[in-house]
Structure 1
């Protein structure tokens, strides 16, 4: 084992022994430190959102490699892919009718790739799909997101239906990975390509969250006013933070497994 890994593993072992409240505090401190670091090295914080989309695309590419080369979709949640396609389709619609920009092109490519993954899982590789383990009820997230969109949505001058769609895709994106995390918790063992994909999602979510937080700081809060009034601006930020923290625990075990030289990630009970 190289000497550079020894201090890192010692730190990870120390963190593992800490109570949940201390772990949560350390995660917040680490996140804030990362935000400060990013703020100083990235001058145009709009690039963070593009970077988040690029990392998500890398994650999708890992899935495509897994499906084409290994000819199996074991360990992947079809329900998470369905939710991802749904929020991307809604966000793409909003992009076309509200603000056509580079994000529209990125979302189009990501949606096309996601639909291809869904096609492969539903038809070509259906025999390897772990349907019994993929038991998350997606209505538990779709319906609450739709209801929340009705209650809290942008107060901009756009069409009312478009504003509802905007809010719905923001909320749904925040929880779209939950079926994938449930499947991994059911199996307890996560093979490498699936772990790489979920870790890429975690990095993408953090970059997206960093984009919003730093934009608010750069504009001294004026960005919140630009998003509208009422609870909506706060809900946008909260959704970004929720996405990040949902995946934070998994990313911790991923890094720990990677540093330990383990090819297969084993999740302890209660991670998801």
Structure 2
């Protein structure tokens, strides 16, 4: 509540508002670009079908990964980023692609399901792999391994076991149906390593909070 009140005080003070916009100009530009991108995607690829929300969710998720990648490259540092979390995303995006590239059971019904949804998921996987590479190799000296100690196998293995027993059958092919469910289950918990890292560091990096907020927002579309 305090943060909200501070924001409205800045709005009422023209000089403070100007300073606020100047300090956050890069973030504002990024989000404006994102909103423009969503608008373009909707008008170019949506038939007005409710299932387009699935594609929109993937676009938002892809945008959040791109934001993290660009921030790491701009700062030449991956400080504040949980490699364990990003590895989980690599696993779940790979699993999701396995279930949607050769099959159609889980694709959006509108024309975005013809190729766009698969493309966005593939691009997300590529960006994820790039982030993992940056953390493991290019900027490994900036990676905080002492605080990123959450064992992601404790998330991956249970999610896979549950998916084996609890899964839909829209693809009518067991491995692909399990892969889709595994991705969903893992996605619901894969941010835990990042939250654990926040707790151990005692601080929160602004761009990682933007990432988590974007991921949460993308999931709101698929839940509604």
With normalisation by structure 1, the TM-score equals 0.59
Which residue among 69, 78, 86 is the counterpart of 1:81?
Answer: 86
2:188 corresponds to: 174
Q: Structure 2 vs 1, CA of residues 44 and 72 (structure 1 numbering), >3 Å: closer, same or farther?
A: same
| Structure 1: stretches of 5+ with no match in the other structure | 7-42, 211-272
Q: Structure 2 vs 1, CA of residues 57 and 161 (structure 1 numbering), >3 Å: closer, same or farther?
A: closer
Shift of 1:165: 1.6
Q: Secondary structure at the match of 2:102?
A: helix
- Superimposed CA distance per residue, residues 156-215 of structure 1 (whole angstroms, 9 cap, x where no aligned partner): 4622222222221121111111111111121121122122111111111212222xxxxx
2:95 corresponds to: 90
Contact 2:97–2:118 at 8 Å: present in 1 too?
yes
2:116 corresponds to: 102
Structure scoring higher RCO (CA < 8 A, sep ≥ 6) equals 2
Shift of 1:5: 7.2
Q: Could you tell me how far apart the structure 2 residues matched to 1:151 and 1:158 are?
A: 15
Shift of 1:3: 5.0
Residue pairs, 1:121-132, within 5 angstroms: 121-132=135-146
Q: Could you tell me how far apart the structure 2 residues matched to 1:44 and 1:157 are?
A: 21
Contact 1:95–1:101 at 8 Å: present in 2 too?
no
Which residue among 150, 174, 181 is the counterpart of 1:136?
Answer: 150
Contact 2:103–2:171 at 8 Å: present in 1 too?
no
Shift of 1:111: 0.6
Shift of 1:46: 2.1
Q: Could you tell me how far apart the structure 2 residues matched to 1:123 and 1:163 are?
A: 34
1:51 to 2:56 alignment: yes
Q: Could you tell me how far apart the structure 2 residues matched to 1:4 and 1:44 are?
A: 41
Q: Could you tell me how far apart the structure 1 residues matched to 2:168 and 2:117 are?
A: 19
2:174 corresponds to: 160
Shift of 1:4: 7.0
Q: Secondary structure at the match of 1:135?
A: coil
Q: Structure 2 vs 1, CA of residues 149 and 197 (structure 1 numbering), >3 Å: closer, same or farther?
A: same
Q: Secondary structure at the match of 1:45?
A: coil
Contact 1:98–1:158 at 8 Å: present in 2 too?
no
Q: Structure 2 vs 1, CA of residues 159 and 72 (structure 1 numbering), >3 Å: closer, same or farther?
A: same
Q: Could you tell me how far apart the structure 2 residues matched to 1:207 and 1:165 are?
A: 21
Residue pairs, 1:55-66, within 5 angstroms: 55-66=60-71
Contact 1:153–1:163 at 8 Å: present in 2 too?
yes
Q: Secondary structure at the match of 1:190?
A: coil
1:257 corresponds to: none
Greater than 4 Å deviation, 4+ residue runs? 1-6
Shift of 1:57: 1.9
